[in-house]
Amino acid sequence: MDGRDTISRSGKRAKKRKTNIILNSLIAIVLVLIIVVATSIFAGGNDEAASNDQPVEEKSETTDKVKNSNSEKEKSQSGKESKNSAERKEKAANQSESKKSDDNVDDESSKEQEEEADDENEDQAVVTEGGSDPNVKNTIVNPGWKPVGTSQTGEHPAGVYEQGSTDWQEMIQAVTYATGLDENNMTVWRLENNGTNRSVATITAKDTKQPFRVYIEWVDQQGWKPVRVEELIENDKG
């Protein structure tokens, strides 16, 4: 009995060792497989991350290049616009100067024409001694005198001898035109009716104290026109 029990226990231990070896081998194989799979997964993740990082970097570099290119284009465009703006300003300034120059030439030409007209009128003036009464020293008649123009429309009423009225101002304009005196250098002593559409003014020059009697008449749609000027010996209205 003892021999059989010993053999039986020995067989059980051998069988148990074999089972343990098999189990340990399987466990080792499973661990190796787990390690291999884990390593493969980890390595694949790194490759994917590296693959994903590269396009981002390339995209970033491309974006920077586009930004730099756009910035250079904007600078170039800004420079062109600044240059064009400066050229436009310079052109406008030149045109303004040219217009001023043309205006000055026109003004000078107009003044010359007026002076020539005045000289022509003076050349046409006829001066005779005496006049309508003993107080007249000289009488001046000029066929070159023209109406001074008017802002009045319609039929002209009887002369309005109210200082400051439109008719009054236009009559004074005709008087200054006939005598050549500036209105500021003239004292009006009397401006009165001298018949239908006719008036007469008695004035003196402030600087020389010389008195004049000026006859004017109304021309329809054209205004008052000087008829004759009498240089007086003394002011008979002062």
Any idea where the domains of the chain sit in the sequence? 1-124, 126-232
Q: Which range has the worst mean pLDDT, 18-32, 107-121, 140-154, 173-187? A: 107-121
User: pTM score, two decimals?
Assistant: 0.52
**pLDDT of 89 above 90:** no
Sign of the four-CA dihedral 174, 180, 185, 188:
negative
Confidence at residue 46, expressed as pLDDT on a 0 to 100 scale:
60
Element (H, E) at 40: helix 2-124
Long-range contacts of 166-170 (CB under 8 A, 24+ apart): 170/223, 170/224
**pLDDT of 200 above 90:** yes
Confidence at residue 56, expressed as pLDDT on a 0 to 100 scale:
47
**pLDDT of 69 above 80:** no
At 83, the pLDDT band (50, 70, 90 cuts) reads confident
CA distance 200 to 129: 20
